[in-house]
Chains A and B, each alone.
Chain A
């Protein structure tokens, strides 16, 4: 059990069982599947940001060598239902009371008469190889009449703006406003007010493996077998069945080895309905692997937000009011509803106490690729705005930024803390646990703030520009509504664990086995984990939103406890002993005090069919679902020391400290690596990543030569500190930490740059802080 750490596997850095195969090149990623006679798919995609389709002629393509089939919008319109991400677009009751706007704008499977972003699928070619499919794309003839495109969020909200999506009345996809107290009064009473604009640029999650899918008809059921890179296999199953008219029982989605997800593979795209459809329609095995160009231009984008934020404080720095007008670029359609805008809204204030709050989020429709959650899902953007504003406020008050933060923190003895706002479920937002003052003091110590200030002063005299930046955030993790686990003893005596939360690199096979081993009394090496096969457990949600450990982990713990009871009672019956006298250790059941009397799990499972007889019992198998009663709120504080060369714009990270709090840690080496990996992505966004369009709506960062992922030299060795506040929301006391690392770097590094360039009086309002951006800031400064 979780509390029995001394002898258990919880809390130990067990080496990953995933590694051996992967290191030998023997993993099985989606494009590694060897399906005989599989045919490949390629898509014709819109070259215009906004246009009317006048005609589509696919006849020439149909006769190209190796072409099996060509589909266009007209040929699939009556056969596949348009895509609506119903789970994401649902408005919880409590939120509905805020009268939000959440427009339902189903995505056409293939465009019929309008395209509204570059990259929108128009036709699908199925051919013997991807090479031949791409050949055939060249001869598909499409006539367009271009329409005005709107790309900029502010412009899209102008009253006379062209419509990004025809048939709508405006370019607003989502709107919600929520607050507490009296912001005007708070501002009126303030000694200092900061009123600023902070923006986060558009990112692409861009896992090194792109999205892909393989599907073929199941010869027995007439249904479909689908292999997918998805983070949410059960959702894919439900959508595929619903959209192409199959019973959900007859669609099986199995996640394979997946090469990173980060949210991009957590949201459905129309291609994921088209591939199974084609397999079913053609009765052929069909494969689609996005190429990198498709991944960067025509798979989900993320982040782009503008915050008009106002902070008001008294002379001592106590926050009196926070107001924010948030704009979120949703892209071509409202695909994920309130998820990102409301996440930004309800995480904006972070760990601070504020009693007058007015927050408004508007999701704007533009002629760009749609945006969806990417690691942090609205939190990095909110943290950038809030933590930048806190630094501006500190500067205004002449206060050390950490001191300003310290004066506003929620205290540990105020936990559980209710903010007065509603959380994403529409219930009162309650932080379950945390120790923000301890986190702050630990980070200040680790980074050596006071020593740094002296060093900074001396360096400035030498013409060297050093800066320090902090970013503090929290994250409500463990999103519901549930996740499940089924555990069973196999004929060999090994134990198999099934769950709906697959891994995209997080090491579930290792960590989940650790949890089950403790709950059950077997060794992790005697457990096999199958995650993300819909045939193995009827319901699941998936691995998104820092939820897998909290939700699946606790379901595993519960199921393990139930299975242990079942094993012990079967063994007691077989051995004609009392259940209370039985024990299970190392896959062997024995009578306490008489270890010689007992049997192995393999022996027990063989007796089960005879013992159970007509009782109707289910052998040695248990299923349990965990529904989190509240979010488990994790938190983190990033502190960076940098050096900036104002003459070249070069930025060097000299030290980077992260203090994180994510409840009890199951496997420290894996947990630390999750945090550091998140920091790496955050640094990429802070310094180099920027998905850009030109003024015609053409994506201009469509390769890795233009969309600049961080490389090894950009990410320093990160120093980690840890605080543990076990979550009272679940028996294991765990919290999610998958996203957290990515939340802090943009704010921490921007704060550090502004601190370094204090003599230039610059304000960093947006990223990425590339050398040329830093040069622009210096050039445009008042300093001369």
Chain B
């Protein structure tokens, strides 16, 4: 759906029929790229990302703000894109799971930790966990194990029972796993 004219910003095509009475022009930065688009008032940010920009790594699990699968970073802060409207992202800086590691780059330490600790099964909730923890990292410093655990309660996973997600998160933040005996 996206088309690009030379070096300019990304202009996703506007669909023929959505809500013709109320178009808004928005411009924002998504994963370091300039985007400008026409959106309807009621278009959810999650649908804008997924259907207009084809950034389908942001998943929609409930559209009720509960599950956290649609978490993205808006100006570095974790938000649920199913509870935000696309127009609210105007002029803002957005980061999605596709913005963590470039297509040709190795996985980030956070992503690698989920792989190594088998902190994922179906992978549907995974981008939400990654963005939620990326947001925690944006806060700076090293969070404590308790702070990580508290943070993780904002996302649902139905497959893993969370145990390996906690391990992955601790690894990503360089914390020892309480289950493993330390080298010392």
Contact = CB atoms under 8 A, between A and B. Distances in A.
Contact of B122 (A260, A670, A712, A717): A260
Contact of B64 (A703, A709, A741): A703
B41 to A, nearest CB: 11
A680 B163 CA distance: 9
Contact of A19 (B50, B66, B120, B162): B120
Interface in B51-85: 54-64, 66-67, 69
Given A25-B96, A260-B158, A676-B164, A132 B124 contact: no
Interface string A685-721: 0000000000000000001110001111101011000
Interface string A22-49: 1111111101101000000000000000
A208 B124 contact: yes
Contact of B124 (A15, A29, A206, A704): A29
Interface stretch (B3-11, B22-30, B110-118, B134-142): B110-118
A25 B69 CA distance: 12
Contacts of A711: 152-153, 156, 162
Nearest to B164: A673
B62 A704 contact: yes
B18 A19 contact: no
Nearest to B114: A23
B64 A680 contact: no
Interface in A254-312: 257-260, 262, 291-292
Contacts, number: 189
Given A292-B63, A713-B153, A676 B160 contact: yes
B175 interface: no
A132 B123 CA distance: 30
Interface in B135-168: 149-150, 152-153, 155-166
B122 A673 contact: no
B98 A131 contact: no
A132 B122 contact: no
A209 B61 contact: yes
Contact of B158 (A25, A26, A709): A709
Contact of A257 (B118, B123, B178): B123
A292 B61 contact: yes
A16 B115 contact: yes
A711 to B, nearest CB: 4
Interface string B42-55: 11000000100011
Interface stretch (A358-366, A501-509, A605-613): A501-509
Nearest to B110: A23
Given A677-B121, A704-B67, A705-B64, A25 B115 contact: no
A367 B15 CA distance: 41
A31 B66 CA distance: 19
Contact of A24 (B16, B97, B152, B153): B97
A8 interface: no
Given A291-B63, A677-B121, A711-B156, A22 B126 contact: yes
A677 B120 CA distance: 10
Contacts of B127: 25
A677 B64 contact: no
B164 to A, nearest CB: 6
Contact of A680 (B66, B111, B161, B178): B161
A679 interface: yes
B33 interface: no
Nearest to B108: A23
Contact of B59 (A29, A65, A131, A683): A29
Contacts of B66: 703-705
Q: Which of B1, B50, B103, B121 has the most CB of A within 10 A?
A: B121
A526 to B, nearest CB: 21
B179 interface: yes
3 tightest A-B CB contacts, nearest first = A25-B57, A680-B161, A259-B124
Interface of A: 15-16, 18-20, 22-29, 31-32, 34, 65-66, 128-129, 131-132, 206-210, 257-260, 262, 291-292, 504-507, 669-670, 673, 676-681, 683, 703-705, 709-713, 715, 717-718, 741
